[in-house]
Amino acid sequence: MAEKKFCSVCGADAVTLLGNGRYLCGEHYSSAILERVQRTVGENGMIGENDHIAVALSGGKDSTVLLWLLSKILSGQDDITLTALTIDEGVCGYRDETIQAARSITGMLGISHRIVSFEEYYGRTLDSLVAGNENRACTICGVLRKKLMQVASRETGATKLATGHNLDDEAQSVLMNFFNGDIRRITRQATVNPGFIPRIKPLNEIADKEVALFGMVNGIYRDLPECPYARGSLRADVRGFLSRAEYLCPGTKDRIVNGYARLRSSLHGNVPVSHYRTCGICGEPCTGDLCMACRILDSLA
Ligand code: SF4
Ligand code: ZN
């Protein structure tokens, strides 16, 4: 039987061992995560006075933990508003339970919650859009959801859009851009377009397993069904590849994300700058004649 370990701070039963050799109980682990997220938000100027933060809440672990942490970090800051936004893509057998979980956490925290659906905005569910094109489901879903999240955030009066991307998601995205040879994305300079609500990622320094443990320790995470389209995606393959790399060589994900940040800053001044226009169909900001969402919808029509 494994030897019982105790929290280095208070002596209670430990739930985890940190990289620095310290064991922590649930309470002190939660405080440590909260402090790290608070530091990420503060050091990167993610939230300012009078901000209205729309939190993209899928009902899954990352967005639920994000909402929970932001509600604690911002409690007492009366000039800041939090609104949770959930997109119902219309995936049979998957979305109902996660939407219920989203309702439950917003009810528990007393945060206003808006649900918008593909069916209501695009006139079709994701299931119907990808029928016969299931292998492209995540690409189609990602583009349409991103657009709807922007539109809904703007309608809500949000000044920032917070998403639950964690360190693993960031590392996966970097690798996927390389695997796709997507030089435009790899080198893209962050430019501010007045039509886009700026996105913030307060969990981007917290690993996936740390988010999961935080959710479990605080009783806000339970196993939910996985989207049926997730299995065949490139992201799922990259996730498996990265998990193995991290297991064999701890710190790999951190190094990918930090190395990429250094690469981008070393390219400073030598990267293509996006010139924004408005989509000829929907009027949303984009870099070509049509936005990606309208191009995709056109190709599926
Ligand atoms: Fe959309 Fe793919 Fe996520 Fe399913 S797994 S919700 S299809 S992005
Ligand atoms: Zn468009």
Distances (CA, A) of 50 to 74, 77, 82, 147, 254: 12, 9, 11, 24, 32
Q: Which ligand 1 atom is the nearest neighbour of the CA of 126?
A: 7
Q: For the segment 185-202, what is each residue's pLDDT rounded down to a tens digit?
A: 777 765 566 678 999 999
| 28: Cβ contacts below 8 Å, ≥ 6 apart | 7, 9, 10
* CA–CA–CA angle 107, 111, 112 (5° rounding): 100
Residues with CB under 6 A from ligand 1: 89, 137-138, 141-142, 227, 229-230, 233
Taking the CB of residue 110, how many other CB atoms lie within 10 A of it? Answer: 8
> pLDDT band at residue 222, thresholds of 50, 70 and 90?
confident
| Closest-approaching ligand to the CA atom of 279 | 2
Mean of pLDDT over the chain: 91
Per-residue pLDDT tens over the stretch 23-72: 999 999 999 999 999 999 999 999 999 999 999 999 999 999 999 999 99
Q: Tell me, what's the pLDDT at 274?
A: 67
* Six token digits for residue 248: 């064999």
In contact, 100 and 198? CB cutoff 8 Å: no
Q: Cα of 136 to ligand 2 centre, how many Å?
A: 19
CA of 93 to the centre of ligand 2 (A): 29
Q: How far is the CA of 239 from the centre of ligand 1 (A)?
A: 14
Given this model, what pLDDT does residue 182 score? 79
Residue 1 pLDDT > 60: no
Separation CA 212–CA 215 (nearest Å): 5
- Long-range Cβ contact pairs of 181-184 (< 8 A, separation 24 or more): 184/272
- Compute the distance from residue 288 Cα to the ligand 2 centre, in Å: 10
**Taking the CB of residue 166, how many other CB atoms lie within 10 A of it?**
26
- What confidence tens digit (pLDDT) does each residue in 237-254 have? 899 999 999 999 999 999
- Nearest Cα to 257, choosing from 241, 272, 242? 242
- Residue type (1 letter), 61: K
The token pair at 25 is: 């109980």
Proportion of the chain in helix, strand, coil states, percent, rounded to 5 = 50, 10, 40
Give backbone dihedrals phi and psi of 46, rounded to 5 degrees, phi first.
-70, -30
Residue 139 has, within 13 A of its CA and on its CB side, a CA count of 14
Nearest atom of ligand 1 to the alpha carbon of 230: 5
Question: What is the CB neighbour count within 10 angstroms for residue 160?
Answer: 18
- Residue 138 CA: which ligand 1 atom is closest? 2
The predicted structure's pLDDT at residue 58: 94
Q: Residue 234 in contact with residue 176, Cβ under 8 Å?
A: yes
Using a 10 angstrom Cβ sphere, with 0-12 exposed, 13-18 middle and 19 or more buried, the burial of residue 208 is buried
Centre of ligand 2 from the C-alpha of residue 295, in Å: 7
Which ligand lies nearest the alpha carbon of 292? 2
Ligand 1 atom at minimal distance to the Cα of residue 142:
8
Residue, of 224 and 269, whose pLDDT is higher: 224
Q: Any residues with CB less than 8 A from the CB of 121 and at least 6 apart, and which?
A: 148, 151
